[in-house]
């Protein structure tokens, strides 16, 4: 698999390009800034972008959607619950006060256990509410892209609209803990002691996981 990692935008979001080396088809996850650099990288790698995928609807992760779509023509995909919630006027106004504008509506929705095909690659969509109602992770080919559901040695905050720590812990226990220990976690921010880690190590060092693993 072709994998490129970037830190983009004012809140230092981790964006990921994931591509099939056989077909050169690719997706980009949370392109929340530096869109020209991301597109240039996609072009230099000879990739055909199939979709812009959001792990959740918080505008620090979706603020690059509009420009990325304009540059590539790729559709925007996210979970329905976040696409609806984060376009509610009072929530839009709250984030605008933080300097973050909403993105246009998604072009399509991600469903729990959906198989997202990218050329010969297949990623399973795992619905992991808690950080937000529509948070999802992508699992495949030894990697788990977690957005803000799971960081290295931490988890995402739950004090924003739609967040719930009890629901997040349930998602971690039921949807993340059962995955193979050798899975490499690719989080939505580099907030930990290192940018990535194996899930097995996180079951030991992450206090939110080691108490429920």
**Where is average pLDDT lowest: 19-28, 78-87, 167-176, 193-202?**
78-87
Quick check: 173 pLDDT over 80? yes
pTM (2 decimals)? 0.95
Which residues touch 70 (CB under 8 Å, ≥6 apart)?
none
Encode 174-200: b = buried (16+ Cβ within 10 Å), e = exposed: ebbeebeeebebbbbbbbbeeebbbbe
Query: Can you give the pLDDT at residue 95?
Result: 84
64, 53 Cβ separation under 8 angstroms: no
* Number of separate domains in the chain: 1
**Domain span holding position 187:** 2-210
The rounded distance, in Å, linking the Cα atoms of 60 and 24 is 28
Token readout for 23 is: 């077909």
Q: Domain of 23: which CATH number? A: 3.60.15.10
Closest CA to 19 of 56, 55, 44: 44
How far apart are alpha carbons 194 and 58 in whole angstroms? 23
Give per-residue pLDDT as tens, 107-145.
999 999 999 999 999 999 999 999 999 999 999 999 999
> From CA 70, how far away is CA 92, in angstroms rounded?
22
pLDDT at 88 over 70: yes
Stretch among 11-25, 70-84, 91-105, 192-206 having the lowest mean pLDDT: 91-105
Q: Look at the block and give the residue holding tokens 């490129």.
A: 4
pLDDT above 90 for 188: yes
Predicted local confidence at residue 103, as pLDDT: 81
pLDDT reading at 211 higher than 80: yes
Average the pLDDT over each of 10-24, 29-43, 46-60, 76-90 and give the range with the smallest value.
76-90
DSSP 131: S
Cα separation, 42 vs 2, in Å, equals: 11
pLDDT of 213 > 80? The answer is: no
Q: What angle do CA 94, 14, 40 make, to 5 degrees?
A: 110
Q: Report the distance separating Cα 60 and Cα 65, nearest Å.
A: 10
- % of the chain exceeding 70 in pLDDT: 100
10 Å Cβ neighbour count for 46? 10
Residue 101 has pLDDT above 80, yes or no: no
pLDDT at 6: 96
Phi–psi pair at 96, nearest 5 degrees? -65, -35
Give the sign of the dihedral formed by CA 185, CA 6, CA 91, CA 106. Answer: negative
Is the CB of residue 77 less than 8 Å from the CB of residue 114? no
Computed over every residue of the chain, the mean pLDDT equals 95
């Amino acid at each position: 698999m072709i994998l490129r990692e970037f830190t983009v935008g004012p809140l230092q979001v981790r964006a990921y390009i994931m591509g099939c080396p056989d077909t050169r088809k690719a997706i980009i996850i949370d392109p929340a800034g530096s869109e020209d650099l991301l597109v240039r990288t996609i072009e230099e790698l000879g990739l055909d972008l199939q979709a812009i995928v959001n792990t959740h609807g918080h505008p620090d992760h979706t603020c690059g959607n509009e420009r990325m779509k304009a540059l590539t023509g790729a559709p925007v995909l996210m979970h329905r619950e976040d696409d609806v919630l984060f376009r509610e006027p009072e929530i839009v106004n709250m984030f605008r006060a933080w300097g973050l504008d909403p993105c246009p509506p998604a072009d399509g929705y991600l469903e729990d256990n959906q198989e997202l095909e990218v050329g010969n690659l297949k990623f399973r969509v795992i619905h992991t509410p808690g950080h937000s109602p529509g948070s999802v992770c992508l699992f495949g080919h030894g990697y788990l892209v977690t957005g803000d559901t799971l960081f290295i040695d931490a988890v995402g905050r739950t004090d924003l609209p739609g967040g719930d720590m009890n629901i997040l812990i349930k998602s971690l226990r039921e949807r993340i803990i059962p995955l193979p220990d050798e899975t490499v976690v690719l989080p939505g921010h580099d907030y930990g002691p290192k940018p990535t880690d194996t899930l097995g190590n996180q079951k030991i060092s992450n206090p939110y996981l080691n108490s429920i693993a």
